[in-house]
Structure 1
Amino acid sequence: MDGFKKRLNESVQFKLSFSLSLAILVIAILAGSFSFVSAFDEAHELQDDMLRQVAALFDRQHLPLAHLGDDGRAKDSDEESRVIVQYLDDGSKAAATGDIGAPLPLPATLSDGLHTLDVSGETFRVLVKTTSNHERIAVAQETGIRDEIARASAVHTLMPLLILVPILLLIVADLVRKLFLPIAALSAEIDRRSEQELHPIEEIHLPAEVRPFVVAINRLLVRVEQSMETQRRFVADAAHELRSPMTALSLQSERLARAEMSEQAHERLVTLRLGIERGRNLLDQLLSLARAQTVSTAPEAPVSVQHVYRRVLEDILPLAEARHIDICVDGEQDATVWVSEPDLIAVIRNLVDNAIRYTPEGGTVDLSVTTEDGQAILRIQDSGPGIQAAERQRVFDPFYRTLGSDQAGSGLGLAIVKAITDRIGAKIQLAFADEVRHSGLRVCVCVSLVNPSHRDPVRMNTEVVVV
């Protein structure tokens, strides 16, 4: 019962359905009761009219009544539904009807009109009438059969109501559910959005009662977007402004390195220069993240994945050679995708850079591309330690570093990849390269292929799948 009350208080749809159903049931009960009583009384009135008509027939036609002891019972007649017609005068004139051979012991003092009498342990409805011959006759019928007929007639009047009320309840429940479908669809549409999709909600086809809430949500989205844009602009401006002093510090450290100094000072200068370089890399990553989180323009032409691979390898090959990493592109299969080339280069560059940094010296990094179900699947696989399943959601957060990592970095690489893939409508999947040993990392980026007939890809929902 407590669960029912809680659901009734929390759900407007359930409350509306319950209220309407309860109102329909109450009205149906009241209407059914009124109809039953009215039909019951009307059936009794019709039966009383039948007694009047029988008496009038005997009076107009001067029909003789059967003499006492005659059995004028009709074949196959129902004794309980018989109508008895007899004289109300002394016993010498009393006679039975055609249904029974003995008259009812009715008192001769009954006045003309309708009476309900108990006769020999049974209840009868009796009509007393004085004919034109100044003879008094009684027309009687048992009330039991009258009531049974009246109840049957009243029940027949209730049958349509009894059949239609359950159907009406089902229709009401279905109508209420359909009326709330736009709200459910609105909730699902908002729930499918990523944190970057802050465009206004469409107000068309929404009920007028819901539109004020949608307008308020749209205003909130505008304020949130403005706040996020302010934060991104602040990060970008701060990073941009810090690049100049960091560049000046780097130049000063290079000049200082050419000066004569002790070996201890030289070691400290090397440490200083590494810190300055890490600071410059962090600023570059912050600028890349700010650019990734902004809405880019639509691509002007399709991009070859193999072309992007070659460009990335040309830039990052010195880092791989310095760590003795064997990096290559498996196969010659190519795919053409409809995304911005700088965006795709940024995604591949960050993934390959992470693979090289986290792969031990002498390891391997393999790049490949395949097509499946209208999508290009870009794979970057390394022989490093991989990422545990428990951390695969966290690694996309800015500045998050995997546990036990001793590699230098800002923790922004995968955050940049996530921001770009969300914006271009791609999917990214993380898994072990070797599922048996739980080692190595395989990253798959699924991007829509170009539709050759329309030169436009089939857009897909933004989704990040961690397997």
Structure 2
Amino acid sequence: MDGLKKRLNESVQLKLSFSLSLAILAVAVVAGVFSFLSAFDEAHELQDDVLRQVARLMDQQRLPPATAATDARLSDEESRVIVQRLGDGNLSPVGADAGGRLRLPTTLADGLHTLEIGSETYRVLARTTAAGKRIAVAQESGFRNEIARDSALRTVMPILILVPVLLLIVADLVRKLFRPIATLSKEIEQRAEQELHPIEDHHLPTEVRPFVVAINRLLARVAESMDSQRRFVADAAHELRSPLTALSLQAERLAQAEMPSQARERLVVLRQGIERGRNLLDQLLTLAKAQSPTEAPRSPISIQKIYRRVLEDLMPLAEAKHIDIGVEGTQDTRVWASELDLIAVVKNLVDNAIRYTPEGGGVDLSVSTEEGRAILRVQDTGPGIPLAERDRVFEPFYRTLGSEEIGSGLGLSIVQTIARRIGAEIRLGFADDAKQAGLSVVVIIPMAAPSQGAESLHLE
């Protein structure tokens, strides 16, 4: 009972359905009882009219009641009407069921009476005819009640049939009335973090629109706040670029000068710090762009083309560490995504793979298709990411414990942000499951529709 009360208090839809159902049942019970009693009384009244009509017919046609009661009976026992004289004195030794006469009192007053005769109950009409004779017209009450009850039940039967149907209709109507709210909830739930555009309210009920207006105002304030933060990050990164570039140039000029070995070692550390700061600024700018809304792509993009552009940019970094890097296979596919977004995703994944792979290792890129989706895979022979840290590596500025590589900790965060925006999915695993070594990053992206991607999928 407490569980039902809790559910009713938590759900307006359930409370409304329960209240309407309870009201319908209450009205149906009252209407059913009233209809049953009215029909029952009406049936009895009709049966009394039958007795009056029989008595009137006997009087008007001057038909004397037969001395044998069976002569005045109908063949149907349930519908039989007994007609006999009152005060004859010729009482039959057998009962009425066996064809005898009813033992009625001679002093019975004119009118309708309910009498107990033997073990049976009879409805009796006493009447004095125009000739001065007194007659009695009787019918067994048990049969009368059964007929009246059947008639009353037939009157109530439509209510008994229609009430369950009405309850189902009400439950269905309530569910349909709340469907726009459920649709609205589902729409908001499926939105990505960056989708802060207003909710359409023209198809919603008037009672719900004030809530939607309030939500839209909140979304507008959140969007404005996020835009302000992105602008601040982008502006700060731009402003810091110039002094860092100047420091980098000064460090290069200083490296050309003669200096003790100890000072040169410190200069190397300084230049690494400056380079790390420049990389951090570049990553911050990329993250700010990834968090900003972009226009929908107008045409599908070749994955192999993206691979080639990324390898051209990062090949010097791979050669410096003697890393064998390349694309496995010649299979290609096209996906509906922004070219800049795909370049940012692949470039960050490959850059991480090169940085965390030891010298002489390998980085492999591949693409395949499965169930209408493009499978982008980047594998390396580095240490991989432990299972315990895989949920945290997508957080901004988080770096794997024990890592000595120079980085900002924003690469996978940028990849995750772009993946959510384009509807992609990212999976992390080991390149070598047996040794639990190496990192395998799989990016699953919906492919272009056949009609839209009918162009050749060969390398451009």
Q: Normalising by structure 2, report the TM-score.
A: 0.91
Instruction: Kindly provide the CA deviation profile for residues 205-228 of structure 1, in whole angstroms up to 9, marking residues without a partner as x.
Output: 222221221121111111111111
Partner of 2:228: 230
Match of 1:420 among 400, 408, 418: 418
List, as ranges, runs of 4+ consecutive aligned residues in structure 1 with deviation greater than 6 Å. Answer: 93-99
Instruction: Kindly provide the CA deviation profile for residues 360-419 of structure 1, in whole angstroms up to 9, marking residues without a partner as x.
Output: 222110012223444332221112222344433322221122344332211100111122
The alignment partner of 2:40 has SS state of helix
The alignment partner of 2:434 has SS state of coil
Q: 1:181 to 1:403 in 2, by over 3 A?
A: farther
Q: Distance in 2 between matches of 1:314 and 1:134?
A: 131
Which amino acid in the other structure matches residue 349 of structure 1? K
Aligned residues of 2:74 and 2:81 also touching (Cα < 8 A): no
Partner of 1:64: 64
Q: Distance in 2 between matches of 1:114 and 1:92?
A: 23
Q: Distance in 1 between matches of 2:305 and 2:269?
A: 38
Aligned residues of 2:73 and 2:81 also touching (Cα < 8 A): no
Aligned residues of 1:40 and 1:153 also touching (Cα < 8 A): yes
Q: Distance in 1 between matches of 2:388 and 2:13?
A: 39
Q: Distance in 1 between matches of 2:178 and 2:57?
A: 66
User: Deviation of residue 266 (structure 1)?
Assistant: 2.9
The alignment partner of 1:394 has SS state of coil
User: Deviation of residue 74 (structure 1)?
Assistant: 6.0
Q: 1:284 to 1:71 in 2, by over 3 A?
A: closer
Q: Distance in 1 between matches of 2:72 and 2:56?
A: 21
Which amino acid in the other structure matches residue 345 of structure 1? I
**Mean Cα deviation higher: 292-301 or 378-387:** 292-301
Q: Distance in 2 between matches of 1:190 and 1:202?
A: 11
Which amino acid in the other structure matches residue 20 of structure 2? L
Partner of 2:213: 215
Instruction: Kindly provide the CA deviation profile for residues 269-317 of structure 1, in whole angstroms up to 9, marking residues without a partner as x.
Output: 3222222221111111101111111122344554332222222112211
Q: Distance in 2 between matches of 1:7 and 1:90?
A: 76
Partner of 1:88: 86
Aligned residues of 2:72 and 2:81 also touching (Cα < 8 A): no
Match of 2:316 among 310, 315, 318: 318
Q: How does 1:396-435 map to 2 (within 5 A)?
A: 396-435=394-433
User: Deviation of residue 155 (structure 1)?
Assistant: 1.1
User: Deviation of residue 108 (structure 1)?
Assistant: 2.3
The alignment partner of 2:71 has SS state of coil
Partner of 1:440: 438
Q: How does 1:56-455 map to 2 (within 5 A)?
A: 56-67=56-67, 71-72=70-71, 77-78=76-77, 81-91=79-89, 101-299=99-297, 302-451=300-449, 453-454=451-452
Q: 1:302 to 1:157 in 2, by over 3 A?
A: closer
Which amino acid in the other structure matches residue 63 of structure 1? L
Structure 1: state its 5+ residue gaps: 458-467
Q: How many residues were matched structurally?
A: 455
The alignment partner of 1:116 has SS state of strand
Structure 2: state its 5+ residue gaps: 456-460
User: Deviation of residue 89 (structure 1)?
Assistant: 2.6
Q: 1:118 to 1:75 in 2, by over 3 A?
A: closer
Partner of 2:458: none
Identity, % of aligned positions:
68
User: Deviation of residue 90 (structure 1)?
Assistant: 4.3
Q: Distance in 1 between matches of 2:287 and 2:55?
A: 105
The alignment partner of 1:395 has SS state of coil
**Mean Cα deviation higher: 240-249 or 221-230:** 240-249
C-alpha RMSD over aligned residues: 2.6
Partner of 2:28: 28
Aligned residues of 2:125 and 2:136 also touching (Cα < 8 A): yes
Aligned residues of 1:74 and 1:98 also touching (Cα < 8 A): no
Partner of 1:12: 12
Which amino acid in the other structure matches residue 18 of structure 1? F
Instruction: Kindly provide the CA deviation profile for residues 396-444 of structure 1, in whole angstroms up to 9, marking residues without a partner as x.
Output: 2211223443322111001111222223333333222223333222222
Partner of 1:48: 48
User: Deviation of residue 21 (structure 1)?
Assistant: 0.7
**Mean Cα deviation higher: 128-137 or 381-390:** 381-390
Partner of 1:465: none
Q: Distance in 2 between matches of 1:99 and 1:240?
A: 114
Q: Distance in 1 between matches of 2:86 and 2:422?
A: 104
Instruction: Kindly provide the CA deviation profile for residues 88-126 of structure 1, in whole angstroms up to 9, marking residues without a partner as x.
Output: 234159999997543323222222111122233433211
Aligned residues of 2:255 and 2:264 also touching (Cα < 8 A): yes
User: Deviation of residue 162 (structure 1)?
Assistant: 1.1
Q: Distance in 2 between matches of 1:295 and 1:52?
A: 92
Q: 1:207 to 1:317 in 2, by over 3 A?
A: same
User: Deviation of residue 8 (structure 1)?
Assistant: 0.4
Q: 1:56 to 1:348 in 2, by over 3 A?
A: same
Q: Distance in 2 between matches of 1:306 and 1:71?
A: 109
Aligned residues of 1:67 and 1:95 also touching (Cα < 8 A): no
The alignment partner of 1:72 has SS state of helix
Aligned residues of 1:428 and 1:446 also touching (Cα < 8 A): yes
Q: Distance in 2 between matches of 1:432 and 1:321?
A: 24
Q: 1:98 to 1:308 in 2, by over 3 A?
A: closer
Aligned residues of 1:72 and 1:98 also touching (Cα < 8 A): no
